Amino acid sequence: MITKVFMPKLSDAMETGKVIKWLKKEGDAVKGGDLLVEVETDKANVEIEAFGAGILRKIVVGEGGTVPVGEMIGVIADPTEDISSMAAAKPATSAPAAGAPAPAAKPAPASAAAPAAASGPLPAMESYQSVPATTAVVPLAPAAAAAPAPAFAASAPVGGRVKASPLARKIAGQTGVDLRLIQGTGPGGRIIRRDVEAAQATPRPAAVPAGAPRPTAVPAQPQFVIPPRPEAEFEDVAMSPMRAAIAKRMPMSKAPVPHFYVTSEVAMDEAWALREQLNSLDGQPKISVTDMVIKAVSLALIKNPGINAQLNGQVIRVYHRAHIGIAVALDQGLITPVLRDCDAKPLARIAVESRDLADRARGGKLRAQEMSGATFSISNLGMYDVEEFSAIINPPEGAILAVGSVLQKPVAEDGELRVGRRMKMTISCDHRVMDGAMGARFLQDVKRLLEEPLRLLV
Amino acid sequence: MAVMTYREALNLALREEMRRDPRVFVMGEEVGLYDGAYKVTQGLLKEFGDKRIIDTPICESGFTGVGVGSAMLGLRPVVEMMTFNFSILALDQIVNSAAKMCYMSGGQYNIPLVIRGPGGPASQLAAQHSQSMETYFYHVPGLKVVRPSTPADAKGLLKSAIRDDNPVIFIEAETLYAVKGEVPEDPDFLIPLGKAVIRREGTDVTVVAYMGMMYRALEVAEELARDGISVEIVDPRTLRPMDTETIIGSVRKTHRAVVLEAGAGFAGMGSEIAAQITETAFDDLDAPVLRVTGENAPMPYAKNLELLKTPSKAKIAAAIRQVCSA
Amino acid sequence: MAQTKTAVAQTRLDAELARRLLTQMALIRRFEEKAAEMYALGKIGGFLHLYIGQEAVAVGATSTVRLDDYAVSSYREHGHCLAKGSDPRRIMAELFGRIDGLSKGKGGSMHLFDKSVNFLGGHGIVGAHLPLAAGAAFAIKYQGGDQVVLCYFGDGAVPEGEFHESMNLAALWKLPVIFICENNRYAMGTAIHRALAQTDIWRFAETYGIPGEAVDGMDVLAVRDVVARAVERARRDKTPALIEARTYRFRGHSMRDPAGSVYRTKEEVEREKLRDPIALFSDRCLKEGVLTEADIRNIEKAVNDLADEAVAFAEASPEPPPGELFTDVYKD
């Protein structure tokens, strides 16, 4: 039986070993387990045992020879076996084989190796060494940064970074909204989803259409010097309690409630004419456009109960009465007293009661039950020449109608141009409770009632 | 300025601190007569004698508790864990005694204890000897946790840890003991705990990495530089308390972050860093923070599987490219 | 190592010693009763482990050591802390979770620490303080001192690995620590014969080659004798010792187990109460004429007043301010 003796790998990092001393001569008998040869590694001198029995027939690497790990250094075999095919004896060299030089046996402060112990049993843990994380000398301070020549452009847009949440960016990308034109209402002025949605609902003429290339530099303007302005640049005004209450309540609606908006333009000529006729009668209360809108809305709500509804926990509460909140502007803020059962009250009654409510609202004399319980609200800014606007839903209601001015406009009818009275109204709807089609149908019913105003009287 | 190995830097730190303060002593398995399982304490028994270099029997919980008790009386023990895998046996003394004593006693008894030793993956040491143990400790209020990556770190941070009046978990790495580096010779050279360092400046992405992963990141950064990606590498050095200011400052500059860790990634260091970056610097991020971590499996013995377990350079490079393409 | 079961004390009993020992035991008893009362009123929360019945061990042992010696105990440590010299008002405030407690209310019943009398705690994990005691003894030796450490623990800690690790280290390194096992026969609800293969706990000393003795833990003078010998030996030779004090707790493991009657019979408890250490000692003092009935009444009144004062002090102390949540996590 032939047993080859190899230079053993005694640690993970060991690459070569040196034969120090053969403990048996060629021709000696060897039993398995006999100490055969003393080898020097990067750590220590180690005595190697024989793994087979027989005669040490050939010493292939003599004392002083350094060979790579795994190379054969001797042959043990039976006396008569043919070993001529085994490698011939290598001349003893003290020059290292290709690879790392044989490390020093003494410890040196700057060397990486631990000192070799005196020849003896292999120190168990100490000889174990994995591949170090780096062979370079680690500098104390980092190397100076190389001048970066980025192949891909930095992403900062012209004019600096736009602070927008990933969701806002996604929606803006899908809907073609230019983030740079939006004022963000999130933390630190971050543009968030609701800002992008609000921008979609009330389109402004964009300074730069979506998708257009970024503008080039503005052409140079002539020098303009602002004259000195001694007055304070701004002043802080304390919030009235009412303003504070509004400020607290509005985000309760606007943030969690997903608003959508539907706008409709009503031809108010008939309604205007009817109003003038009614108001010329003796002994009748004066009717306003708002009163007519209230009545129209109330009838439309009964016909479209899905709009006369609000989210109540896990269910939608649908009302079968129209209690209308009528927004009244005050110096210190906004209040929305409630006019109940408008669907059941005639137009004259609504006119009287709404005026009374508004007067008492301005005088601070509303009763508790008049402050809540609305199923729908109406806000009219028509007296301020507002063409249209969209309002924020009063929580916990499901919708609110914003009414603009009745304006005289050029209108096309039957191919002819004439002047007509037009009024825009915008409904804001809670999308959790109602959908666009529902809102549109409702608005259509309101429009029809106003355009055929006699229906408000029957 | 001297050049020495990480191991020698630790040895020198211990020597200097023991010469400076007679209350400092070293205790652990094989630290004295055997010169240390990894030779970190080589020669200390000879210089300081067996009153201050104490070989212990194998009873991690017992001798760690002895360390804590002696610290209550004002000594400053440096307890060696042969590897931090064995510290699990002493977890009760570390977490319930050392970490909480100052708090439970209302400030009467603080514990100026250092527990040091190697941790993390080495080479085919298999499941029980390859764990990244910092995850057990940085979670615990009352402990400080340090992972020094370079020889200079090892010296400066160990000295600071010994001088700190609180329990410090000081986890070295077997794969770093032979690494050579520049180390100042001044015996008062200290690196403060809780201070990160920028290992490599860059502009396109912040890579947070420590220990072996830091070296790997440096190599990856060199390769990516040829493709025009400029990588900045931040090494926290102390995991608790962590220098989030330096990390966040870097992210505000580069707008992208990748965190590397060798240990299994679930609920690892990367999650904490990613959460802090996202919470604090959301508006400065152009991409989500990515983590490149060890796989969620025990360390296998087979060499090829072991290579798969810890993040490879290819994986690190892929993550960096991914955040840069966002 | 010799075993001594000392039934008859050898200490000379004089009036001054009698008064001191009886006052301390009575104070512990009254304090613990008060604490139980306060717990039932909701003033003390969490876990409360009473020392009632075991007073002779803490008082007898502590009477042999100096102020600069150390003591450490488990979570049933009110008695040891009082015996070491802590202010009962500050202990009660700590139990109430108030700012004037020993640890500003942040430790609670199981974590009483008092550096001013070298009381090293108050520890909640069974057996975990034994290595701490060995460590303190290590530090004493390292610093060249002659103090000793008294380490109290129950029969429940003996199966814990840390008992063995601590005994081994103390014996191997010759540390001046006296391990005092208060064997009250039940670890929570587990009787010792169900937990220990070797129920003669003092015999573990033989395994580690250190002196070991058992003693009647209801006899304060006997405890005092045995511990005094061990302390003297530790001071002189740095030899540790294991002392098994055989005692009994008259109440349950904690307030969650007030009577401790699921695992013990009522008859057994009543029988053991006949050997109440305070009654035994006061009877003896009367019999030997070192104290009169009036002395004993005065002592009872005095400790009652102290206990009431402790409660009043605790009640008056405010809760720790919110900022205290974050102090002492680290020492700056």
pLDDT tens digits, C224-253 = 999 999 999 999 999 999 999 999 999 888
The reply to whether C16 falls in a domain is no
Q: Label residue C285 by pLDDT band (50, 70, 90).
A: very high
Mean pLDDT along residues A258-280: 94
More confident residue, C80 or A146: C80
Which of A12, A16, A61 shows the shortest CA–CA distance to A36? A61
Helix (H, G, I), strand (E, B) or coil at C254: coil
pLDDT for the residue numbered A236? 61
Domain with C30 in it: what CATH number?
Answer: 3.40.50.970
Highest mean pLDDT among A66-80, A180-194, B7-21: B7-21
Distance from the C246 Cα atom to the nearest Cα atom in chain B, whole angstroms = 26
- Which of B37, B151, B199 minimises the CB distance to A142? B199
Using DSSP, state whether B206 is helix, strand or coil.
Answer: strand
Which range has the worst mean pLDDT, A177-186, A403-412, A414-423, B45-54?
A177-186
In a domain, C249, yes or no: yes
Chain A nearest-CA residue for B11: A109
Active-site positions of B read 60, 129
Report which of residues C71 and A171 the model is more confident about: C71
- 186-205 in chain A: CB under 8 A from chain B: 188, 190
**C2 within some domain:** no
Cβ–Cβ below 8 Å for B179 and A132: yes
What pLDDT score does A89 carry? 54
Lowest mean pLDDT among A138-152, A308-322, A380-394, C250-264: A138-152
User: Would the CB atoms of A133 and B199 count as touching at under 8 Å?
Assistant: no
pLDDT class of A105 with cuts at 50, 70, 90: very low
pLDDT digits (tens, 9 = 90+) for C290-304: 999 999 999 999 999
Q: Does A138 touch chain B (CB under 8 A)?
A: yes
d(CA B268, CA B138): 10
- Mean pLDDT across chain A, nearest whole number? 79
| pLDDT for residue A332 | 78
Specify the pLDDT at position A117: 35
Q: How far apart are CA A454 and CA C117, in angstroms?
A: 98
Minimal CA separation from A129 to chain B, in Å = 8
Q: Do B229 and A131 touch (CB under 8 A)?
A: no
Q: Let me know if residue C184 belongs to a domain.
A: yes
Tell me which residues of chain C, numbers 69 to 88, contact chain B at a CB-CB cutoff of 8 Å: 70, 72
* pLDDT-above-70 percentage for chain C: 96
Ranges of each domain in chain B:
2-183, 197-325
* Residue C69 predicted with pLDDT over 90: yes
Q: Answer yes or no: is pLDDT of A219 > 80.
A: no
Which of B29, B66, B102, B166 to substitute to test the interface with C, most C CBs within 10 Å?
B66
- CA dist A454 to A425, A446, C26, Å? 20, 13, 99
Average pLDDT of the segment spanning C72-77? 97
| Predicted local confidence at residue C6, as pLDDT | 42
Best interface-test mutation with A: which of B149, B179, B279, B321 has the largest number of A CBs within 10 A? B179
Which of residues A151 and C23 earns the better pLDDT score?
C23
ipTM: 0.87
Q: pLDDT tens digit string along A410-449? A: 999 899 999 999 999 999 999 888 888 999 999 999 999 9
**pLDDT for the residue numbered A216:** 44
Residue C6 lies in a domain: no
Contact C231, C178 (CB under 8 A): yes
Shortest alpha-carbon distance between residue C179 and chain B (Å): 15
Residue scoring higher pLDDT (A201 or C269): C269
In the block, which residue shows the tokens 């001297």? B2
Catalytic residue numbers of A? 431
The pLDDT value given to residue A228 = 60
Q: Which residue of B has its CA nearest to A187?
A: B283
Interface residue A123 vs chain B (CB under 8 A): yes
> Per-residue pLDDT for A227 more than 70?
no
For range C115-130, the mean pLDDT: 96
Is residue C12 domain-resident? Answer: no
pLDDT of residue A118: 36
- The topology under which CATH files domain B197-325 is Rossmann fold (3.40.50)
Mutate one of C148, C168, C330 to test the B interface: name it (highest B CB count within 10 A).
Answer: C330
The nearest CA of chain B is from the CA of A197 a distance in Å of 20
Asked if residue C1 has pLDDT above 70, the reply is no
SS3 of chain A: CCEEEECCCCCCCCCEEEEEEECCCCCCEECCCCEEEEEECCCCEEEEECCCCEEEEEECECCCCEEECCCEEEEEECCCCCCCCCCCCECCCCCCCCCCCCCCCCCCCCCCCCCCCCCCCCCCCCCCCCCCCCCCCECCCCCCCCCCCCCCCCCCCCCCCCCECHHHHHHHHHHCCCHHHCCCCCHHHCECHHHHHHHHHCCCCCCCCCCCCCCCCCCCCCCCCCCCCCCCCCCCCCCCHHHHHHHHHHHHHHCCCCEEEEEEEEECHHHHHHHHHHHCCCCCCCCCHHHHHHHHHHHHHHHCCCCCEEEECCEEEECCCCCEEECEEECCEEECCEECCCCCCCHHHHHHHHHHHHHHHHCCCCCHHHCCCCCEEEEECHHHCCCCCCCCCCCCCCEEEEEEEEEEEEEEECCEEEEEEEEEEEEEEECCCCCHHHHHHHHHHHHHHHHCHHHHCC
Neighbours of chain C (3+ CB pairs under 8 A): B
Count B/C contacts: CB-CB distance under 8 Å: 147
Q: Which domains, ranges and CATH numbers included, belong to chain A?
A: 3-77 (2.40.50.100), 166-200 (4.10.320.10), 241-456 (3.30.559.10)
B142/C103 touch (CB, cutoff 8 Å), yes or no: no
Please report residues of B whose CB lies closer than 8 A to that of C131: 61-66, 68-69, 93
8 Å CB contact between C299 and C278: no
pLDDT at A217 over 90: no
With respect to residue C247, please indicate whether it lies within any of the assigned structural domains. yes
Instruction: Pick one of 2.60.40.10, 2.40.110.10, 3.40.50.970, 1.10.1200.30 as the CATH number of B2-183.
Output: 3.40.50.970
Closest partner residue to B105 (CB to CB) among C70, C121, C169 is C121
Q: Is residue A104 scored above 60 in pLDDT?
A: no
Tally of structural domains, chain C: 1
Confidence class for position C11, pLDDT limits 50, 70, 90: low
Q: Could you tell me if residue C86 is inside a domain?
A: yes
Range of the domain at C269: 23-314
